[in-house]
A and B are shown apart, each in its own frame.
Chain A
Amino acid sequence: MSDHEHEHHEELSFWRKYVFSTDHKVIGIQYTVTALFFLFFGFCLMMLMRWQLAFPGKALPIIGALFGADRMPDGIMLPEFYNQLGAMHGTIMVFMGVVPLAVGGFGNFVVPLQIGAPDMTFPRLNMLSYWCYFVGGVIMFASFFVPGGAAQSGWTSYPPLSDIAPSGQTWWLMGMMALIFSSLLGAINFITTIIQLRAPGLTFFRFPFFVWAQFVTSFLLLLAFPPLQAASFFQLMDRVFGTSFFMPEGLVISGQLSEATGGGSPILWQHLFWFLAHPEVYVLILPALGIVAEVIANNTRRPLWGYKSMVYSLIFLGFMSFIVWAHHMFLTGMGSAMSAFFQTTTMIISIPSVIILTALILSLWGGSIRFTTPMLFALAFLPMFGIGGLTGLPLGLASTDIHLHDTYYVIGHFHYVVAPGTLFAMFAGIYYWYPKATGRKMSDFLGKLHFWPSLIFMNGIFMPMMIQGLAGMQRRLYDGGEIYAHTQTALHWHKVISISAWGLALAQIPFIINFFASLRKPKTAGDNPWHSTTLEWAAPSPPPHGNFTELPTVYRAAYEYSHPDHDEDYLPQFQADAQAKPAAATP
């Protein structure tokens, strides 16, 4: 371990150092902590919903009284409040939880280190990006307390419902605009940084896979988000200035003919929304694949299998993600020709995903696997993401989608991708890079205590949803489908799901304890505790302002593990010479 105790950088005030910092590592940690808070908050919203679904119309004991008469009179949830919880759970988890954690958190902290850069190219834009995110988050959070409550038209905010919803929807739009602006600034920063600040010798095909994942993700954020920005402006005009972009003529609302003029198009919103929101799904998953690739290579002590095909798949995936969006809209009456087009592109996009997943699984072949906590999460990611991906196929085919559309099957499919998929990868990343960020390792015992129950409860939540969906249970129903005759056989699964959800919350306690208690340990992790090959491990732990004590040079590809000509089982990118194995060492 290098002695970096006597670093003498210029003294910054507390505010500039920890709050309005321009250091990518501080911003990365700010993003991580804020996003973890929102993930927890969004999870709490969902746990409330699960009470209503498991025990419809029953009073929520003890805490039910806290929510007030306009949300839960006598502890019994009102439908409007349920809708708010549903819409905000989706919005918060996707736009304020997973994406900021994956891109803002991990991307910010790790990417400059992995490419050997002193910081991001535009440090002040980076700070602005975080604070836009923060403001967007505050607006969303505050919207719960405005008259009529938060947005309640689903996380997709489909008009005309969202056009006529209470004022919380306007707050949702304002919040989204701030979040979109934040991710735009972030994307510009990432792409410029990756192109311009690569260390000497670091060619594109020597990138760690995580850097590639962030690179492609940034392009998705850059080019897919603006159409939603445009759509948000349209919807804001509808709500504030009474235009009718999304209000069709002749619409009757509560027995009254609406005053919409000229004929707007609700479908227009769906197009612009899904133009963003399908690439957004890949924004959710690509950084996760990047983290899993890092952790797997490190813990199998082998190079990634098929690195180049993984990279090409990634690029192809990113490109294709822009022309599959209308598979979310098969039921809008788009006609069979366009349905055929979109189901074809959807089937095509599954190929690169499968290539990447297969390459990751094949990377395990013949490795001497270390079952560390990050590796457990990464290993669990593979089948979980596999289930999530495969259950997507029936949704991507127009004919089967007719039955499954808007059922619990969709929720199960999507959550398999992002909860035991992406979130497990995020946990893997936290356990993996925590020593770099703090100089301390997290407890392996508590890590395993976190992992195993989480894995079981995750499946306890989402597998039954598949069953319910196949039984035809519609999603977003306040009473969980209780009044429908055909869903009676699947109703009892609600209790299993809800109990698993609350169990999952308990399973996060070891993680929270581990996360904070490990901060009090001595800094004994060292620069390279996992014996890894990539550049971030060349910097001290935690890295000082400016990251590296001297600018690293890159000599080889990213994952030179178990190199036959080298006596240690890892050969870092930044190490100059691969010493030949001493011949005398073997008897």
Chain B
Amino acid sequence: MSHHDIDIDKTVRTYMMVFAALIVGTILTVGASYIHLPTGPAIALALLIASAKGSLVVLFFMHLIDEKKFIYWLMGLAVVFFIFELTVPLITEMNNIDLGS
């Protein structure tokens, strides 16, 4: 973001809204854990809220919402490899892991 063409007051108002949303999200995360959902849905819900909060941080605090093309390419690439890194070893080990127990 170049420093000259920013409406800084508007930006600061956005920051405050994001701040409020993050606090609400944190309360929701803890609240959801008291519902005692089964493990699967509980993980899904917690990760969903965390992802929403994370997206807010990345988009607004880190200004990714109006970044340049190269940064999008770079982080896109990193996210793709991140997903490989998390999922492929797990899928590969499915055979060796007894998921029934």
Contacts and interface: CB of A to CB of B under 8 A. Distances in A.
The reply to whether A and B meet directly (CB within 8 Å) is: yes
Interface stretch (B16-24, B42-50, B89-97): B89-97
Given A333-B96, A334-B92, A334-B93, A323 B84 contact: yes
Residue in B81, B84, B95, B96 with the greatest tally of chain A CB atoms within 10 Å: B81
B95 A268 contact: no
Interface string A297-337: 00000000000000000000000001100100100111100
A263 to B, nearest CB: 10
Interface in B77-95: 77-78, 81, 84-85, 88-89, 91-95
Contacts of A332: 96
Contacts of B89: 268, 271-272, 275
B92 A326 contact: yes
B70 interface: yes
A195 interface: yes
Interface in A421-460: none
Q: B interface, by DSSP: helix, strand, loop or mixed?
A: helix
A246 interface: no
Contact of A322 (B81, B93, B94): B81
A334 B78 CA distance: 26
A370 to B, nearest CB: 39
Interface in B48-101: 70, 77-78, 81, 84-85, 88-89, 91-96
A323 B91 CA distance: 13
A223 B92 contact: no
A90 interface: no
B92 A227 contact: no
Given A195-B70, A227-B85, A323-B88, A267 B78 contact: no
B77 A219 contact: yes
Contacts of A275: 85, 89
B6 to A, nearest CB: 22
Contacts of B70: 195
A268 B93 CA distance: 9
B98 to A, nearest CB: 11
A288 to B, nearest CB: 24
A267 B96 contact: yes
A329 B91 CA distance: 14
A509 interface: no
Given A195-B70, A219-B77, A223-B78, A267 B93 contact: yes
Interface string A328-367: 0100111100100000000000000000000000000000
B92 A271 contact: yes
Contacts of A323: 84, 88
Query: Which of B78, B92, B94, B95 gathers most chain A CB within 10 Å?
Result: B92
B84 A322 contact: yes
A195 B74 CA distance: 12
B81 A335 contact: no
Given A275-B85, A323-B88, A338-B91, A223 B77 contact: yes
Contacts of B88: 323, 326
A400 B91 CA distance: 23
Interface in A214-228: 219, 223, 227
Contacts of A334: 92-93, 95-96
Interface string A267-287: 110011001000000000000
Contacts of A272: 89
A271 B89 CA distance: 6
A10 B91 CA distance: 59
Contacts of A223: 77-78, 81
A272 B85 CA distance: 8
Contacts of B77: 219, 223
B92 A338 contact: yes
* Max chain B C-beta neighbours (<10 A), residue from A195, A329, A334: A334
Nearest to A265: B93
A244 B70 CA distance: 41
A223 B82 CA distance: 9
Contacts of B94: 335
A268 B88 CA distance: 12
A265 B94 CA distance: 13
Contacts of A195: 70
Contacts of B95: 333-335, 338
Nearest to B90: A271
Interface in A481-533: none
A323 B94 CA distance: 17
Contacts of B93: 265, 267, 271, 334
Contacts of B91: 338
A248 to B, nearest CB: 11
A184 to B, nearest CB: 13
Contacts of B78: 223
Residue among B70, B89, B96 facing the most chain A CB atoms (10 A cut-off): B89
14 contacts: A223-B78, A227-B85, A265-B93, A267-B93, A267-B96, A268-B89, A271-B93, A275-B85, A326-B88, A326-B92, A333-B95, A333-B96, A334-B95, A338-B92
Given A267-B93, A335-B94, A338-B92, 18 more contacts: A195-B70, A219-B77, A223-B77, A265-B93, A267-B96, A271-B92, A271-B93, A275-B85, A323-B84, A323-B88, A326-B88, A329-B92, A333-B96, A334-B92, A334-B93, A335-B92, A338-B91, A338-B95
| Nearest 4 pairs of A and B residues by beta carbon | A335-B95, A271-B89, A338-B92, A334-B92
